[in-house]
A and B are shown apart, each in its own frame.
Chain A
């Protein structure tokens, strides 16, 4: 096989991601077909469930918020060529941080003080859970992937112990904390827009969504506008050149993982401060892993991450609608789609490169010939 010609930039940026996504959806469609349902009907139901039904958009954006945070966590580490697979555990710990602040301060302080502190608590605890694997990678050479996987499980054990033990609501059996006082709860979007006189349907959407949008912006500034971001990208692209440039490579890796963990931790502001108003088991629900799909699909760029988060938000919300409409397909199908997207947009990302490049080159040559 001869070497494929280089791919034009537009094709690399838009065509190939689209092709990969399409391939994932085609395979999923074929599976739906094999189950005996019409994939297009299913898609229609999901779209309606995600955007059309009253309140559905709120739910979609609520899921989107989670995925923005976990997607950013993975993306920032990817920029340093670090694979943080531990978003799940970092988000879990973030919930602990937010919960501890809300539980202890909400009874005595107003929301205006408690909420920012709780948000900071979420970021801080997430960051701590990222720093340790970062340090072990940078200074002790432990593989970040394995360490972060292990830290997910350690986080799970820790949280079970805390929620079933020291933090359990007195007199209750189920492993969760008491409910936060109102000043420890993130206000809902319905409330905020109500202040402005806009009526929206009730949904779990809360101010964390705005925080997520702000995080996207902060991410953009950090990666492309700050000196630290420049160092992160240099370490990721060429660690030898980074060393030549006087960048302390291990230090940058540790800082990157701290930021990554902080982003993941912020997911808890949506789930814990915004919706559950208590810390409970398994609230992360695999969203940390979805963040990997989001970052891969969104190509580690805030716009891409937003769009990918929106897609997954719509899939999760629309997927819930499947349960009502179909006998044989359910919301679990969304996991399958997610897996396919990770497979095609991640592991098989280069599969379409050579054929696409050859096709484009042939097309360009033909057009050139026609012009002559």
Chain B
């Protein structure tokens, strides 16, 4: 076992609050966690950072018994603790605050807290006890909340407070928080960290899952870094810095050099002015975004996932209505009043390679040939006649597959049966085939093997060479650096800055992504 090697704990002290040894977990073909070792000292705030999809949530759900590891061992306070259900985890004094709140919105705070620990068959019996616990937590940690308010009516920060109360109500000494600040305002986040600090002083062990580096630096004692399902490092927070963490998180993938050639930007094809977007819950997703993209230019958008890039892509593609600002693109004008739709946007020469090919880019139950016309089924690919020309569709798909190296080149195969890389190549083939004037592309190589990555990169460069204006969103910093002519960095829905490629390096971008740097630093 290598657990002790990475712990840094000296013998003779209290056993670690949590120790994980060689945890592995896969879902189907996806290896979500692999060979994970982790040691968390009692009474500390321990951060776990990693990009979206690095396997942090999977690991925490395993620890909380929501699913079981395929291999490995869990020790709580030094003793082996087989955790098969959340009830087991609760029994071991573990409480969890999930990324998506598990509150019943039409229940009162009191009812939500009571659920699962009612104290007897009649609610009246346990009510006083829970009220006392609520009062105790309020006075001990400053977690005040009206027990009779409806959970759904509370602001997000207070809802989260209820979740923390739920986790602590049974006297939990280990608290897991999964991306707790993702939906919070800065003020709410600040109050959360004050509460966590009080908890730590009281001896509670806190596991903080996040992808926000400033939170790690500000709030934690130790930090572990995950990448692609593995643990890639453990640090004492005071011995590290955001740049190192960013580097560890993003990793240094051996990326094949792309010959970008020289760019000769032409006229402006896309301009965005003061774009803003708010979620139904009232969270500011995009805030005051302005930029321009010219013909023959790739504008890379860097940022740690979840900082507004997805929403930006959706607004540009006509899939989401902006709440403020305006977008001008190939004769289309998108404003909050003049909506457009993806079909109209596409007809004006704008193509969109979506971030999530399973959710948006493909219909997995359809064959490749049916997917080859998704979004273009009213166009020439389906023939000129009133019925879809099956031969035309098949030959269109065969052409796409041949030109873009989709394997196996079988139009009758269902999209589900292709590998991730070939699924992505199929989407890219479909979107590039019209030689669009503007291309909006998100995570073009996510979950794609090295060979396909190179191919996809060359295709994007070639399209730029033809004069297309390209907006590229990627969480892979190397991809951004390899492809972009200019780089825009987003953090918390805002634009941190736009820098020229030759002025950017991983360090400057890393700082900007963490929201620390500013545009002026690089300029």
Given that A238-B364, A241-B374, A243-B319 are known contacts, is A225 also in contact with B342, CB under 8 Å in the complex?
no
User: For chain B residues 345-379, which have a beta carbon within 8 Å of chain A?
Assistant: 345-346, 352, 354, 359-366, 370, 373-375, 377-378
B378 & A225 in contact (Cβ 8 Å cutoff): no
Contact of B375 among A221, A238, A245, A248 (CB under 8 A): A245
Q: How many residues of B contact A (CB 8 A)?
A: 31
Asked if A237 is at the interface (CB within 8 A of a chain B CB), the reply is yes
B342 & A246 in contact (Cβ 8 Å cutoff): yes
B382 & A227 in contact (Cβ 8 Å cutoff): yes
State the Cβ distance, A232 to closest chain B Cβ, in Å.
Answer: 12
| CB nearest neighbor in A for B346 | A246
Asked if B390 is at the interface (CB within 8 A of a chain A CB), the reply is yes
A225 & B319 in contact (Cβ 8 Å cutoff): no
B377 & A227 in contact (Cβ 8 Å cutoff): yes
State the Cβ distance, A310 to closest chain B Cβ, in Å.
Answer: 28
Given that A231-B377, A246-B343 are known contacts, is A241 also in contact with B362, CB under 8 Å in the complex?
yes
Q: Which residues of B contact A233 (CB under 8 A)?
A: 363, 366
Q: Which residues of A contact B387 (CB under 8 A)?
A: 221, 225-226
Q: How many residues of A contact B (CB 8 A)?
A: 19
| CB nearest neighbor in A for B344 | A246
A244 & B377 in contact (Cβ 8 Å cutoff): no
Q: How far is the CA of A246 from the CA of B431 in the complex (A)?
A: 14
| CB nearest neighbor in B for A231 | B377
0/1 interface trace, chain A 218-258, chain B, CB 8 Å (1 if under): 00010001110011011001101101111110000000000
A interface, over-half SS? helix
| CB nearest neighbor in B for A227 | B377
0/1 interface trace, chain B 293-320, chain A, CB 8 Å (1 if under): 0000000000000000000000001110
Contact of A225 among B28, B375, B388 (CB under 8 A): B388
Q: How far is the CA of A225 from the CA of B383 in the complex (A)?
A: 11
Contact of A244 among B28, B360, B365, B386 (CB under 8 A): B360
A230 & B359 in contact (Cβ 8 Å cutoff): no
B377 & A241 in contact (Cβ 8 Å cutoff): no
Q: How far is the CA of A234 from the CA of B317 in the complex (A)?
A: 19
State the Cβ distance, B444 to closest chain A Cβ, in Å.
Answer: 16
Q: Which residues of A contact B360 (CB under 8 A)?
A: 240-241, 243-244
Asked if B35 is at the interface (CB within 8 A of a chain A CB), the reply is no
Asked if B125 is at the interface (CB within 8 A of a chain A CB), the reply is no
0/1 interface trace, chain A 256-288, chain B, CB 8 Å (1 if under): 000000000000000000000000000000000
Chain A CB within 10 A, most for which of B28, B345, B373, B375: B375
State the Cβ distance, A218 to closest chain B Cβ, in Å.
Answer: 12
B residues neighboring A (CB under 8 Å)? 28, 317-319, 341-346, 352, 354, 359-366, 370, 373-375, 377-378, 382, 386-388, 390
A residues neighboring B (CB under 8 Å)? 3, 221, 225-227, 230-231, 233-234, 237-238, 240-241, 243-248
